[in-house]
Structure 1
Amino acid sequence: MKECLYLIKIDNLYGFIDNKGEIIIEPQYKNARNYSDGLAPVLTRDNQRGYIDFENKMVISINAQYIGEFNNGIAEITVNGRDGCINRQGEFLVLPQYDMINAINLSGTIVVKIDGKMGVVDKQGNFLIKPIYKSLSTFSEGLAAAINEQGKCGFIDEKGNTVIDFKFKQNSFFSEGLAEASLDGEKFGFIDRSGEFVIEPKYYQVFEFKEGLAAFRLKTGGKWGYIDKCGNIVIKNKYQSVGNFSDGIAVFENKDSSGYIDRNGKVMLKNVFSTTDEFKNGLGCVTYEGEWGYVNREGEWVYKPRNFDLW
């Protein structure tokens, strides 16, 4: 069994390669997504949706409009416009009855939306937290960002207890001990689990912390850079667009082309690509003139787009 396979697209068909760039599953699917929990969701040429294993065996075949990636043994599906969840055997855990499955948590609980309100159910579909919130994020580090009936933002635990008061205009989930928050919806900073700002709200936009760094931009200038957990600028704000750090590498975009930088802001791969994805399992996915490719941390090609001839 392969530990990890990577999605490729050739002539509008999807297949998979290994980490050496060798094609393991020939491009044959009209649509596909990456492997998760050992299974990949695919759409065959005859419009059958299901999940394949690493040997390209269809282990789950299901009649649905949408099938998501597995997360902790649970996958979201959409049937007749309603969302539910299945297990790795293709059995319904939660019948398709909800407006939306918003998140599948590490604990196996599921954030759902019904009649315009969000709550949390267990794997049997029983409500653990009643659907009373306008919005509810995934639970991260034991807390979820929530918006109450009055439109105020706070944080609750998995029992539904309020842990951080509903006093914010906007907020997001915790990552690496800090969460994005704003009191006025215009200036953003970061709070700790006590609900106090540890990085003052002065940014126009921020991303969550990943690998000790968070992307930010100011209203004046509008360019992106990175700060550390003390609020120090580590990488100057000079990018048109950026992504989170993963494996010590982040996506950046300038002049409508994408590349990669390291934690010091050094360009590892020039911005010549149409799109770049964050690094996963040591490889980054790029596209060039509609063709897919993969590079490693040294900037070497593992799988090269057919049309690429710049190096």
Structure 2
Amino acid sequence: MYLIKVADRYGYINAQGEMVIEPMYKNARDFNEGLAYVQTFDDVKGYINLANEMIIQLNAEYYGAFKYGLARVTLNGLDGCIDMKGQVVLNPQFERVNGVNPDRTIVVKQNGKMGLMNLDGKFVIEPEWDYLHTFTEGLALIRQKNKVGFINEQGNIVIDSQFSDAFCFSEGMAEASLDGEYYGFIDYSGKFVIEPTYYQVKEYKEGLAGFRLKTGGKWGYINTSGEVVIKNKFQFVGPFQEGLAVVENRDRGGYINKQGKYVVKNVLSSTTDFQNGLGRVNYNGEWGYVNKQGQWVYKPKSFDLW
């Protein structure tokens, strides 16, 4: 189901744009793994299922999205995890829960350091890092003394902490910078396969990555060989998802295809990446959804441009 907002109330539609859960919530988020966080106007908070039944009612300070059957929650300023029945599986005792891996190990922060813990409460990677991300493509980003590297699932360093900045691996490459100013892409060995000549870059998705040069300041896209395939002419670009990417010009958003052609015109207040065939858009405070052909599935009432 897809989240919508009508006036000051949140509800949900299906993929055909039909109302499934009437706008009735003061606050709500997207469904993940069949559950969504909601807040009623009576200030009842928790998670509903697809039948709009609140199956987890919880008074917390933060409610995370479910991933691999677990969700981060914050109680009394400390993080823990609950399962999809609302049972606490990791007691809220950590400064931060920073994500869940597919094997349901959890990145936690304790006494200022991050490590990896299993659901038995035992560390499988000791908390020795200033920062630790979840694993992507078998590697996890680490930060120690303002330098970034990568470890494997056994906790061994496989790419030395030599970078001023870096991001997680995607499609075999990771954005990285030696000096914090110019970025390129490294492979699993830590070698640059695309030299750090860009002022900013974004992760590869569907074979394309956003890039920005220091001169001009506009964004475009390169392929995995570093060739410019969509000219740098945008104020903002997002990753390609399901063949389309969010772009912005003059503070208005739209969607382009891999040829750089607009599928949805850049007249929207804001847009989000495509998920399951639909992209969520905002037009002057009203929400709607478009399909990959640029047709409205759920149209904001005030929108009459196409």
Q: 1:11 pairs with 1, 7, 12, which one?
A: 7
Q: In structure 2, what is the Cα distance between the partners aligned to 1:65 and 1:75?
A: 13
Match of 1:176 in 2: 171
- CA-CA distance at 1:131 after TM superposition: 1.4
CA contact (8 A) 1:111 1:138 kept: yes
Q: In structure 2, what is the Cα distance between the partners aligned to 1:125 and 1:41?
A: 26
Q: What is the TM-score with the length of structure 2 in the denominator?
A: 0.98
Q: 1:147 pairs with 140, 143, 150, which one?
A: 143
Q: 1:30 pairs with 22, 26, 44, which one?
A: 26
3-state SS, counterpart of residue 144 of structure 1: strand
Q: In structure 1, what is the Cα distance between the partners aligned to 2:36 and 2:266?
A: 30
Q: In structure 2, what is the Cα distance between the partners aligned to 1:216 and 1:134?
A: 28
Q: In structure 1, what is the Cα distance between the partners aligned to 2:301 and 2:115?
A: 47
Give the letter for the 2:20 counterpart: I
Give the letter for the 1:231 counterpart: G
3-state SS, counterpart of residue 285 of structure 1: strand
Give the letter for the 1:299 counterpart: G
Could you give the per-residue CA deviations for residues 61-109 of structure 1, whole angstroms, max 9, x where no partner exists? 1121111110010101111111110011111111111111111112211
**Residue 117 (1) aligns with residue 113 (2):** yes
**Residue 59 (1) aligns with residue 46 (2):** no
**Residue 21 (1) aligns with residue 17 (2):** yes
Aligned residue runs from structure 1 range 75-224, under 5 A: 75-148=71-144, 150-224=145-219
Q: Which moved more, 1:150-159 or 1:243-252?
A: 150-159
- CA-CA distance at 1:17 after TM superposition: 0.1
CA contact (8 A) 1:77 1:96 kept: yes
Q: Cα RMSD between the aligned structures?
A: 0.9
CA contact (8 A) 1:49 1:67 kept: no
Give the letter for the 2:128 counterpart: I
Query: Which ranges of structure 1 fall in alignment gaps of 5 or more residues?
Result: none
Q: 1:279 pairs with 271, 274, 279, which one?
A: 274
Q: In structure 2, what is the Cα distance between the partners aligned to 1:191 and 1:227?
A: 15
Match of 1:265 in 2: 260
Q: In structure 1, what is the Cα distance between the partners aligned to 2:35 and 2:161?
A: 39
Query: Which ranges of structure 2 fall in alignment gaps of 5 or more residues?
Result: none
